[in-house]
Amino acid sequence: MDDGEKDALTMFLDAQRGAVLAILEGLDDEALTTAVLPSGWTPLGMVEHLGYAERHWFQEVLTGHADPLPWSDDPEPLTTPRPASEVFTFYRAQCERSNALLAATPLSTPPRGHHPGDFGDEVTDLRRIVLHMIEETARHAGHLDAVRELIDGKTGLGPR
């Protein structure tokens, strides 16, 4: 019964994911791995963070289980020692896995896992997981958009 709603949510989430990738398209390794803001995160680290978020919300929280990471956790948040090709492959794979779970699961399905903290108590079904991921991805796409402008002056990037 929720196919229309699910299609709309998937479309908006995919649009934000596409914006993240489009904003970073054409940047070289140096630009992807250089912190522009005082907080110290890098564009590539942000992509890896978004891959972790996809994995956490759709696998750990929704299904209660996630496949092992292809590498050990790193102590530095929002930076990565991995090459761009590996990080972008990881991000795309997590998005594909999330979409497969979303396609196969009713929006009203309660999570089997739990997100720590108060926000975890508000996540009562897949619908709220998807809404959170739209917000999370859009928020970070905005960060990346501003950083891209600081790197090379380009604005208005992303899918139209």
pLDDT at 77: 74
Using CA of residue 11, residue 24, residue 136, residue 110, what is the dihedral sign? positive
pLDDT digits (tens, 9 = 90+) for 87-107: 999 999 999 999 999 999 999
At 121, is the pLDDT very low, low, confident or very high (cuts 50, 70, 90)? Answer: confident
State percent of the chain over pLDDT 90: 82
- Give the total residue count for the chain: 160
What does pLDDT average to over the chain?
Answer: 93
Instruction: Go through 7-26 and write b for each residue having 16 or more CB atoms within 10 A of its CB, e for each that does not.
Output: eebbebbeebbebbbbbbee
At 21, is the pLDDT very low, low, confident or very high (cuts 50, 70, 90)? Answer: very high
pTM of the shown model: 0.94
Q: Which of 152, 147, 137, 145 is nearest to 11 (CA)?
A: 137
At 159, is the pLDDT very low, low, confident or very high (cuts 50, 70, 90)? Answer: low
What domains can be seen in the chain, in order of their start residue?
Answer: 3-152 (1.20.120.450)
